[in-house]
């Protein structure tokens, strides 16, 4: 076990999988000579050479398509987007080619490809670079969607994603790249997809959160326990599609209350699907309506004070918990 940053855990996963399987290669903007925009691919060009660490031109549609073609003939590409905001330019390849090729070929062409990069807001990157787009990709059959919240999960889930025979959307929160934590150094350490984890045990309310919202939820849980005596359980799905619904339902049936926290927008957000799943499968177990905490339904402002108002904060989660537990003055 070693303590390392989130970005270094991703780097270790990439290095181990490239050493394990010569079919794995990386392509994207600045992944080679520059060591990656966020240094996730640091040192890999020196170790593996330019045929396996390929700097691409600024053409997301082009190099995403190249990766899909390579996957069709047996390679295992890892396609890095400098930000998932830029992946919008590659949506045709991701949605119309990667997700559908296995189905449309009658099972002849599996697409073992990982699309990865930073998702969501950082600090003052403004509206075009601060979008949490996981709900878009969760909407598409044929894609698997992963959003780790810790360095340990980042390593274990990325290794599993690279070994998977289906296209995986791997969403890394930009604000988590410097987060440090314990990471197993075992090169065979992997975490299965579609397996949630309880990040904090509790009895009074379930908080479902993924990616960096897990850390916002953890802060809120400490506050409500200290100030209100409310014991909050935090469930991190880790894989958003396919979703480990059983883990969420088990927690809700124990606590009888639920708050869902996500960075993305409210309308048609990922949390809306979770609400539907819970009310269909565990309606009689609920003692209060499910609450959602989301980003504001606006383009992300550039100004720091406005950005903080638009981004889900621990105070928002605290208020939602108090509402579902009927301890809020507005309940």
* pLDDT score at 330: 63
Which residue ranges make up each domain of the chain? 2-183, 197-324
Which of the residues are catalytic? 60, 129
Q: Which residues are CB-contacts of 330 (< 8 A; sequence separation ≥ 6)?
A: 319, 323
C-alpha distance from residue 165 to each of 72, 74, 102, 137, 273 (Å): 11, 10, 10, 17, 26
Biggest CA–CA distance in the chain, Å, is: 62
What tens digit of pLDDT does each residue of 171-228 get?
999 999 999 999 999 999 999 999 999 999 999 999 999 999 999 999 999 999 999 9
Mean pLDDT in residue range 42-50: 98
Fold of 197-324: Rossmann fold (3.40.50)
Average pLDDT, the chain: 97
Q: Are 282 and 312 contacting, i.e. CB atoms less than 8 angstroms apart?
A: no
Kindly state the average pLDDT of the residues 234-254. Answer: 98
Q: How far is the C-alpha of 48 from the C-alpha of 166, rounded, in Å? A: 24
Res 329 pLDDT > 80: no
Is the separation of the CB atoms in 263 and 271 below 8 Å? no
Whether 328 has a pLDDT exceeding 90, the answer reads no
How far is it, in rounded angstroms, from Cα 199 to Cα 254? 15
120 touches 131 (CB < 8 A)? yes
pLDDT digits (tens, 9 = 90+) for 220-240: 999 999 999 999 999 999 999
CATH number of 2-183: 3.40.50.970
State the pTM of this model: 0.96
* Digit-coded pLDDT (tens) for 63-120: 999 999 999 999 999 999 999 999 999 999 999 999 999 999 999 999 999 999 999 9
* CA 115 – CA 26 distance, rounded (Å): 10
The CA distance from 177 to 192, in Å, is 22
The CA distance from 188 to 122, in Å, is: 32
Task: Dump pLDDT digits (tens) for 134-147.
Answer: 999 999 999 999 99
| Within this chain, domains 2-183 and 197-324 share the same CATH topology | yes
């Amino acid at each position: 076990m070693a303590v390392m940053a989130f970005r270094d855990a991703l780097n270790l996963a990439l290095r181990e999988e490239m050493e394990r399987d010569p079919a794995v290669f990386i392509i994207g903007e600045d992944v080679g000579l520059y060591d990656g925009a966020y240094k996730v691919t640091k040192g890999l060009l020196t170790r593996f050479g330019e045929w396996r660490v390929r700097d691409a031109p600024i053409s997301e549609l082009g190099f995403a398509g190249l990766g899909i073609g390579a996957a069709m003939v047996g390679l295992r590409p890892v396609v890095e987007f400098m930000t998932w905001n830029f992946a919008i330019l590659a949506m045709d390849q991701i949605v119309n080619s990667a997700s559908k090729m296995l189905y449309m070929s009658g099972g002849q062409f599996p697409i073992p490809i990982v699309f990865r990069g930073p998702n969501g807001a950082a600090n003052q990157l403004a509206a075009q670079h601060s979008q949490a787009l996981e709900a878009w990709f969760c909407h598409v059959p044929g894609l698997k969607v992963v959003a780790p919240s810790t360095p340990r999960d980042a390593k274990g889930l990325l290794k599993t994603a690279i070994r998977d025979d289906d296209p995986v959307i791997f969403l890394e929160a930009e604000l988590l790249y410097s987060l440090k934590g314990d990471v197993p150094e075992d090169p065979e350490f992997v975490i299965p997809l579609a397996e949630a984890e309880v990040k904090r045990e509790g009895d009074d309310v379930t908080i479902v959160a993924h990616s960096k919202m897990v850390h916002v939820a953890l802060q809120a849980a400490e506050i409500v326990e200290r100030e209100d005596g409310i014991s909050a359980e935090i469930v991190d799905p880790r894989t958003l599609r396919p979703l480990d619904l059983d883990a969420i339902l088990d927690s809700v049936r124990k606590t009888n209350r639920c708050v869902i926290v996500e960075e993305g927008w409210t309308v048609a957000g990922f949390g809306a699907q979770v609400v539907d799943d819970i009310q269909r499968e565990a309606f009689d177990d609920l003692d209060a309506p499910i609450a959602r905490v989301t980003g504001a339904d606006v383009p992300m402002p550039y100004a720091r004070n406005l950005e903080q108002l638009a981004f889900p904060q621990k105070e928002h989660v605290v208020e939602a918990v108090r509402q579902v537990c009927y301890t809020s003055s507005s309940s």
